[in-house]
Amino acid sequence: MERDPVCGMDVDPKTAKHTSVHEGKTFYFCSPGCKKTFDADPHRYGHQKKA
């Protein structure tokens, strides 16, 4: 399972209908709304926070 970077929901990459590629990494989304939010500002969601 992959985590939707916008809402945090678990998404099965084998059945995910909504995806985006950002800096060579594929992100999976639970809905078109989460994908749209991500695509509008991928740097906000596309990078892991460092501890």
Annotated domain spans of the chain: 2-45
String of DSSP letters for 13-28: TTT-SEEEEETTEEEE
Q: Which residues contact 29 (CB under 8 A, 6 or more apart)?
A: 4, 6, 11, 16, 18, 19, 20, 35, 38
pLDDT at 44: 92
pLDDT digits (tens, 9 = 90+) for 2-51: 999 999 999 999 999 999 999 899 999 999 999 999 999 999 987 655 44
Site of tokens 């678990």: 10
CATH topology assigned to domain 2-45? Ribosomal Protein L24e; Chain: T; (2.30.170)
